């Protein structure tokens, strides 16, 4: 038997058809490295283990679920780590794919982790709360467009694949879920100081109802704030616009 820990947001996928669709979205090729985040009771794990020559690793915060998985799949000993993905070191020394039914309360943290690992991540397939999936896939001008939309779209091509009903889980969550896929852009922008880029985008969205002239007044000199772009609000700019703002910001702060 096992316990369900509400504090960890545990909802275990039990629909085999959904599991297979998620695995198919990974577009696995023999010999590839795959990290599974939050394997839980192994709804995806058992399908992953059937893939040819998979170099598999998993990170699971719940010790009880780690013990359960190793009983089911003894061959995984040494490849299922107990720990927090938000504190995990880079899991492979070569490019890898990432898959998981992400714990909803730390989805944003996982996305920032993926951005940190973007030079090594080949592809991501993740189940997230439907509301978060829509936010990530939003375009400028939409109410759901925000910080994660801009940052992830800077470096990744994003697909909203399909939705998953609560009855596909045990216990069923109170929210709808959706599966998204992230693929690194073949020619993503090279940003010398990514922390400063993130800082700028965060500053814009912290006061999203204000014009950028007010939201970013601490970051730019008064004469630069007269440019027409600063008459807009945060949700009106695409990632390329933010990249231009970043380049201006770096120039005036050299």
Q: What's the confidence (pLDDT) of residue 190?
A: 87
Domains of the chain: 6-184 (3.40.50.150), 194-252 (1.10.8.100)
- Which pLDDT score is estimated for 171? 85
Provide the pairing of β-strand 177-184 with 156-164: antiparallel
Q: Is 105 exposed, middle or buried (0-12, 13-18, 19+ CB in 10 A)?
A: exposed
Tally the residues of the chain.
Answer: 254
pLDDT for res 11: 82
**What is the structure's pLDDT at 133?**
98
Q: How many CB atoms lie within 10 A of CB 10?
A: 22
Residue 44 among known ligand-binding residues: no
pLDDT on residue 3 = 55
Q: Is 84 annotated as a binding residue?
A: yes
On whether 13 is known to bind a ligand per the annotation, the reply is yes
State pTM to two decimals. Answer: 0.93
Distance separating alpha carbons of residues 127 and 159, to the nearest angstrom? 12
Ligand-binding site membership of 41 (annotated)? no
Known binding residue 62? Answer is: no
Q: Are the C-beta atoms of residues 32 and 55 closer than 8 Å to each other?
A: yes
Distance CA 107, CA 127 (A): 9
* pLDDT, one tens digit for every residue, the chain (254 residues): 455 544 444 689 999 999 999 999 999 999 999 999 999 999 999 999 999 999 999 999 999 999 999 999 999 999 999 999 999 999 999 999 999 999 999 999 999 999 999 999 999 999 999 999 999 999 999 999 999 999 999 999 999 999 999 999 988 988 999 999 999 999 888 899 999 999 999 999 999 889 999 999 999 999 999 999 999 999 999 999 999 999 999 998 87
């Amino acid at each position: 038997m096992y316990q369900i820990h509400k504090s960890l947001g545990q909802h275990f996928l039990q629909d085999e058809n959904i599991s297979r669709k998620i695995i198919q979205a990974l577009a696995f090729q023999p010999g590839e490295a795959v990290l599974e985040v939050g394997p839980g009771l192994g709804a995806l794990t058992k399908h992953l283990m059937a893939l040819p020559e998979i170099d598999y690793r998993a990170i699971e915060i719940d010790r009880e679920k780690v013990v359960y998985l190793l009983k089911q799949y003894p061959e995984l000993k040494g490849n299922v780590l107990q720990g927090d993905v938000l504190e995990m070191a880079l899991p492979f020394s070569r490019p890898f794919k990432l898959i998981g039914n992400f714990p909803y309360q730390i989805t944003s943290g996982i996305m920032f982790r993926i951005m940190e690992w973007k030079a090594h991540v080949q592809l991501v397939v993740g189940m997230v709360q439907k509301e978060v999936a829509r936010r990530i896939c939003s375009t400028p001008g939409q109410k759901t467009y925000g910080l994660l939309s801009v940052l992830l779209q800077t470096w990744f091509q994003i697909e909203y694949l399909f939705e998953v009903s609560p009855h596909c889980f045990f216990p069923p969550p109170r929210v709808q879920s959706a599966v998204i896929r992230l693929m690194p852009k073949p020619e993503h922008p090279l940003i010398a100081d990514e922390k400063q880029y993130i800082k700028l985008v965060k500053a814009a969205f912290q006061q999203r109802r204000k014009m950028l002239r007010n939201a970013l007044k601490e970051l730019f000199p008064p004469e630069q704030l007269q440019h027409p772009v600063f008459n807009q609000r945060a949700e009106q700019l695409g990632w390329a616009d933010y990249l231009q703002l970043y380049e201006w910001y770096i120039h005036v702060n050299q």
